[in-house]
Structure 1
Amino acid sequence: MPWTAWAAVLALALCGAAHLPVHRDGVPLDVLAAAFVLSGLCLLSALALVLVRRPALPLLGAAVPAAALFAAAQLLAGRVEAAWLPRFTAATLVPPWIAAPTAAVAVLTALLALLVRLYAGSAEAVRRP
């Protein structure tokens, strides 16, 4: 497995753990459920990447939007007129100033691993006669 996949595993695991909603103060139940599902998707993506020898394109492709939604929620919390969004970002396990960079790094490393996998797949197709 390439080093980019290992970096994506680490970043996705940290992103999933950082965004676990533990403070339920004033956050609607459906928002908490969505946060649990997205956090679980990040953690399961990291676990699945560890268990496979070669990272699959659909697996890496599913990991990117989950982390991207966390990054977007952290970045838009103070800028959008949604009443639940600041409470959603405050409900995470770590403070928002740590959770936002964690999500951004997870998105970038998962995208890098996806691009490396795409490039490796196209290079193998060219080498085969």
Structure 2
Amino acid sequence: NILLIALALVSGGMLLWQSLRSGKSSGSIGPAEATAAVNQRHAIFVDVRSPAEFAAGHIAQSRNVPVAELAQKAGSLPKNKPLILVGATGRDAAKALAQFKAQGFAEVTCLAGGIAGWVQAGMPIKKG
């Protein structure tokens, strides 16, 4: 058990060091970093795909805010928590990033590779 705790602490420290070293407040993060952000900083996954794409498969506990409805639905998200935008491949989420920033969301990043990258990394998705 002590070995697992030490491994978790070293892994978390490396992620923190990389974040501080890069100095980025936006950009993209991989599935492992996104999971760590959710677990440690209570980040929220925001899926910017259409409702039909969202229903076909999405990250558990993610919120669907399609790009077309961003202006109306963005107000329902907390501005004091980090947001991780999820698109189909990452490109549509990158486009939505500027819109979220314009609405006053300070900590917004994109999931590198989008939902496709998430699945490719072997991470679970929820359907329905």
User: Could you state the TM-score of these two structures normalised by the residue count of structure 2?
Assistant: 0.31
Structure showing greater Rg: 1
Higher helix share: 1
TM-score by length of 1: 0.31
